[in-house]
């Protein structure tokens, strides 16, 4: 698994490599939380997200958008996501903690997940995705 930031003119573009779809979605989640809040994140408060969509790209967009929404509305900073995908349905167990201004303010505000340029590919080595976070 790997996450890398790809140069982008105005937003944050992330490329993720993983062996499975579950890992791919989990790593995309991790990248989003890292951009938003940095690396000092712990667990303790659990939220569950369940979604369905017509294809993998739509499912990823729905998942990351829901994580962003839940994080903002619940004032939670998530550290991990246990993602299970079956077909084009997803259940994720998110583990996080309340936002702490002293520890979590070092990131960049993400306004949304861009559907433009969102691409998931698969080959013998695993999965790869490109996603843009609107900042």
pLDDT given at position 34: 94
pLDDT (tens digit per residue) in 42-59: 999 999 999 999 999 999
Contact 31, 107 (CB under 8 A): no
Where exactly are the structural domains of the chain?
Answer: 17-100+110-134
Q: Which two tokens stand for residue 112?
A: 């949304």
DSSP H stretches of helix in the chain: 21-37, 56-74, 101-104
Cα–Cα nearest to 32, from 107, 101, 128, 117 = 107
pLDDT given at position 10: 74
pLDDT given at position 61: 98
Cα–Cα distance between 101 and 55 in angstroms, integer? 37
Cα–Cα nearest to 35, from 56, 9, 59, 6 = 6
Cα–Cα nearest to 56, from 134, 133, 128 = 128
pLDDT given at position 1: 64
Q: Which two tokens stand for residue 125?
A: 């080595």
Cα–Cα distance between 31 and 36 in angstroms, integer? 9
Q: What is the mean pLDDT of each run of 10 residues along the chain (135 residues)?
A: 72 94 97 93 95 97 98 96 97 96 89 93 95 92
pLDDT (tens digit per residue) in 23-35: 999 999 999 999 9
Tell me which CATH code domain 17-100+110-134 carries.
Answer: 3.55.10.10
Cα–Cα distance between 6 and 70 in angstroms, integer? 26
Q: Which two tokens stand for residue 45?
A: 């408060």
Whether the model clears a pTM of 0.95, i.e. scores above it, the answer is no
Cα–Cα distance between 28 and 22 in angstroms, integer? 10
């Amino acid at each position: 698994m790997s996450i890398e930031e790809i140069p982008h003119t105005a937003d944050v573009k992330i490329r993720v490599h993983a062996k499975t779809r579950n890992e791919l979605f989990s790593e995309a989640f991790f990248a989003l939380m890292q951009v938003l809040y940095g690396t000092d994140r712990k667990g303790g408060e659990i939220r569950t997200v369940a979604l369905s969509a017509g294809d993998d790209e739509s499912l990823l967009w729905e998942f990351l958008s829901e994580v962003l929404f839940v994080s903002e509305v619940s004032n939670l900073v998530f550290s991990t996501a246990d993602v299970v995908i079956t077909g084009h349905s997803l259940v994720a167990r998110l583990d996080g903690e309340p936002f702490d201004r002293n520890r979590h303010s070092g990131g960049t505000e993400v306004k949304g997940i861009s559907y433009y340029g969102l691409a998931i590919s698969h080959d013998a080595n695993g999965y790869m995705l490109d996603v843009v976070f609107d900042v």
